[in-house]
């Protein structure tokens, strides 16, 4: 049997050691489906696409159709439900006539339930009502001479925000009082002639619950009179 040179055996052992080191470092590396540090960059008109197990688009980030022009792509975002219906989009369907991309939220039937305005500013949908103009003459306001709390205004509503903002104009005898009630429970401070009633308070009801708002008033002494007119009743954020 031929004699193997010692230096060749040493080289083979060195190669084996290096292979073991490489295999160990490969096993200790982060999985290829994770990014522990740094950014994932998709550029040059590319996009990130997430699909369902059936191959349907679920999320698109990057190039969105239609393009802005033959030489310029549109960059945006589309999020779909797993049934394929569009849920959210930051894109424009008419790049030439409506270049600004609105933010739109869709229900499962394709109706736009929320959208920002693409031409000027603020909201496009939903339509938010302004308070109706009220009589400027206090003589035309609802009034009472009762010394007990008396409901002058009442109406229903659905809770959509965590807080309510209320403003009521008050005119009448000194020491008269006005308050707001939600489902028969007084909410926030009382108001009176001059300063009126202004409050922003948290609602105890849950989102979507129907509630009844009431504005009550009373006078301090028999023979006095107090009149009031609701000016604003808004749901507001925390």
Q: What is the pLDDT of residues 33-77, one digit of tens each?
A: 777 778 888 877 788 889 888 888 899 999 888 988 998 888 999
DSSP state of 12: H
How far is Cα 154 from Cα 212, in angstroms, rounded to an integer? 7
Residues of the chain with pLDDT under 70: 1-6, 24-32
pLDDT of 171: 96
Write down the pLDDT at residue 25. 64
Please tell me whether residue 70 adopts helix, strand or coil conformation: coil
d(CA 230, CA 91): 41
Question: Residue 87: what pLDDT?
Answer: 96
Short-list 165, 162, 182, 178, CA closest to 219: 178
* Cα angle, residue 222 at apex, residues 220 and 224 outer, rounded to 5°: 70
Tell me, what DSSP letter sits at residue 10?
H
Q: Which position has the token pair 């339509």?
A: 127
Q: Where in the chain is the domain with CATH 2.60.120.260?
A: 142-236
Q: Where are the beta strands (DSSP E) in 13-134?
A: 47-51, 57-69, 72-80, 86-90, 103-106, 112-116, 123-125
pTM (2 d.p.): 0.67
DSSP state of 130: P
Query: Domain 142-236 has what CATH class?
Result: mainly beta
- Count CB atoms within 10 A of the CB of residue 237: 6
């Amino acid at each position: 049997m031929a004699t193997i040179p010692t230096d060749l055996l040493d080289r083979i052992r060195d190669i084996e050691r290096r292979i073991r080191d490489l295999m160990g470092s490969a096993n200790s590396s982060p999985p290829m489906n994770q990014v522990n540090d740094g950014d994932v960059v998709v550029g040059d008109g590319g996009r990130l696409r997430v699909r369902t197990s059936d191959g349907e688009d679920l999320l698109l980030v990057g190039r969105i159709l239609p393009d802005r022009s033959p030489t310029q792509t549109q960059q945006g975002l589309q999020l779909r439900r797993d049934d394929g219906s569009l849920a959210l989009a930051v894109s424009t369907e008419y790049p030439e006539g409506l270049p600004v991309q609105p933010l739109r939220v869709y229900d499962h039937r394709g109706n736009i339930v929320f959208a920002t305005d693409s031409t000027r500013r603020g909201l496009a949908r939903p339509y938010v009502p302004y308070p109706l103009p009220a009589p400027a003459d206090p003589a035309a306001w609802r009034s009472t001479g009762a010394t007990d709390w008396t409901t002058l205004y009442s109406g229903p509503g659905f809770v959509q925000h965590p807080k309510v903002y209320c403003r009521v104009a008050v005119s009448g005898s000194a020491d008269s009082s006005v308050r707001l009630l939600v489902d028969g429970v007084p909410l926030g401070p009382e108001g009176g002639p001059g300063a009126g009633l202004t409050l922003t308070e948290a609602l105890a009801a849950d989102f979507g619950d129907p509630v009844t708002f009431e504005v009550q008033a009373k006078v301090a002494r028999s023979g006095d009179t107090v009149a009031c007119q609701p000016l604003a009743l808004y749901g507001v954020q925390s």
